[in-house]
Amino acid sequence: MTKIIGPGSTIGILGSGQLGRMLAISARQMGYRVAVFGGDRLSPCGQVCDLIWPEDYNNEALLHEFASVSDVVTYEFENIPAHAAAAIAARTELRPAVGLLGTAQNRFLEKTALAKLGLPTARFLMMQNADELVAAHQDFGGDVILKANTEGYDGKGQWGIGPDADVAAIWESSELTSGLVEQKVAFDYELSMIAGRFADGHCAFFDPFLNHHANHILDVSISGSPLISVQVASQAEAMGRAVLEHFDVVGVLCIELFLTSSGELVVNEIAPRPHNSGHLTIEAYNCSQFELQLRTICGLPHVAINRMAPVAAMANLLGQHLPPEWTQNAVDAVRNAHLHLYGKQEPKTNRKMGHVTVLGSAPCEAEANVRACRDGLLA
């Protein structure tokens, strides 16, 4: 029988960004205390936690101290040194476990695992030098993406290489000693499937979300889009279940997907945590992705996931979207609009500062309204 970690216990969070902040707020609402490793009191999560340790993953004493006060530990980002995760897992529950973490932070291991599961991915190879990249570029049809094998996010650590590119020069300028090259996938839409799995094997799924990106950063996400058919949604759920069960996940993860014009789903990558596209679940569903994360890692009862409005749309707020002295008037002017700011001290271009979610009855209306909210902040 799964041990229940009930209210009054302490949730340990690795990472102190906005995902940790929203998890901590949900934990507080459910009666938990929150300990954070990897930040300070000015960080998004540091502002709302009970205890916090600096980002020093090589300090064994601090890791032990953090683990000793945490009844269960989870993470808000995956670039955590393996030795630090293992040290914590030796002293308290770490969910999801170290195995998934190690796979998700290494693109080659991740793609290899997905392929072994029979899930379609882009063709991929590991590169060690410019000559190998030149050969792969030609073999993959002259349109590829070179990626750093570890770390990298929001387009960082990625280089698109088209048919006429100087491939060798791109390799040199990347300064990589090794990297992953992927054949570029021709797709119509990008989707995300967010799901959770309890220790007893029960899985819970949100509807797939339709995502629009701008400059490699998530721009707008839509729940309830008619562009996602019942068949595609069912296929995405089956893919999510396969990953959850293969890695024996206890917690929440997101699978990022491409939807081709032929209706085929291709897996891009896994995020073993809540996801930017799932922020709309705070208002749009009876159980947010953060509450689901807590329910799964704490052994709380299952919950049926239900959408609370026919459609919801979320827009990211980046540094360039917020004026020096912003006003909420643009948000208040739109019905069923909800503003979230992450408490970051300095707006910077392309820095995620918050998001706006709009609930509605029609996809086009919800998307138009959430974009209008964001545009109105600078009006």
Q: What is the pLDDT of residue 290?
A: 98
Cα–Cα distance, 332 to 314 (Å, whole number): 15
Report d(CA 149, CA 129) in Å as an integer: 14
Give yes or no for a contact between 303 and 287, defined as CB atoms under 8 angstroms apart: yes
pLDDT at 332: 77
Strand partners of residue 211? 190, 221
Closest CA to 104 of 295, 217, 235, 273: 273
**Per-residue pLDDT tens for 150-205?**
876 666 788 999 998 999 999 999 999 899 999 999 999 999 999 999 999 999 99
Which pLDDT tens digit goes with each residue over 222-258? 999 999 999 999 999 999 999 999 999 999 999 999 9
CA proximity to 71, closest of 302, 298, 299: 298
Question: 112-130: buried (b, 16+ CB within 10 Å) or exposed (e) per residue?
Answer: ebbeeeebebbbbbebeee
pLDDT at 378 over 80: no
Residues in CB range of 369: below 8 A, 6 or more apart: 313, 334, 337, 358, 360
Amino acid at 289: Q
Nearest to 222 by CA among 251, 255, 189, 175: 189
What the block records as the tokens of 116 is 């072994």
- Average the pLDDT over 307-329 and give the result: 87
| Buried-exposed string 157-185: b where 16+ CB fall within 10 A, e elsewhere | bbbebeeeeebeebbeebebeebbbbbbb
Whether the per-residue pLDDT at 326 is higher than 90: the answer is no
Would you say residue 61 has pLDDT above 90?
yes
93-94 and 124-127 strand pairing: unpaired
Q: What is the pLDDT of residue 154?
A: 62
Sequence-ordered list of residues with C-beta below 8 angstroms from that of 285, at least 6 positions apart, any chain: 206, 305, 306, 307, 308
What does the pLDDT average to over 204-227? 96
Bridging pattern class, strands 10-14 and 33-37: parallel
Q: Tokens 């990558």 correspond to what residue?
A: 269
Q: Which residues of 349-360 are buried (b: 16+ CB within 10 A; e: fewer)?
A: eebbbbbbbbbb
Helices 130-139 and 167-174: crossing angle in degrees, nearest 10, is 130
Alpha-carbon distances of 339 from 287, 317, 347, 373, 374, rounded to whole Å: 18, 10, 16, 9, 10
Distance CA 7, CA 295 (A): 11
**pTM of the prediction?**
0.94
Q: Which residues contact 346 (CB under 8 A, 6 or more apart)?
A: 319
Domains of the chain (ranges, CATH numbers): 10-94 (3.40.50.20), 123-183 (3.30.1490.20), 189-376 (3.30.470.20)
Give residue 257's pLDDT: 98
**pLDDT of the residue at 331:** 76
The sign of the CA dihedral 34, 35, 40, 43 is negative
Residues 6+ apart with CB under 8 A from 10: 32, 33, 34, 35, 50, 51, 69, 70, 71
To 5 degrees, how large is the angle CA 272–CA 246–CA 91? Answer: 60
Q: Rounded distance, CA 353 to CA 363, Å?
A: 25
Q: What is the mean pLDDT of the chain?
A: 93
Closest residue by Cα to residue 330 from 367, 366, 371? 371
Higher pLDDT, 328 or 43: 43
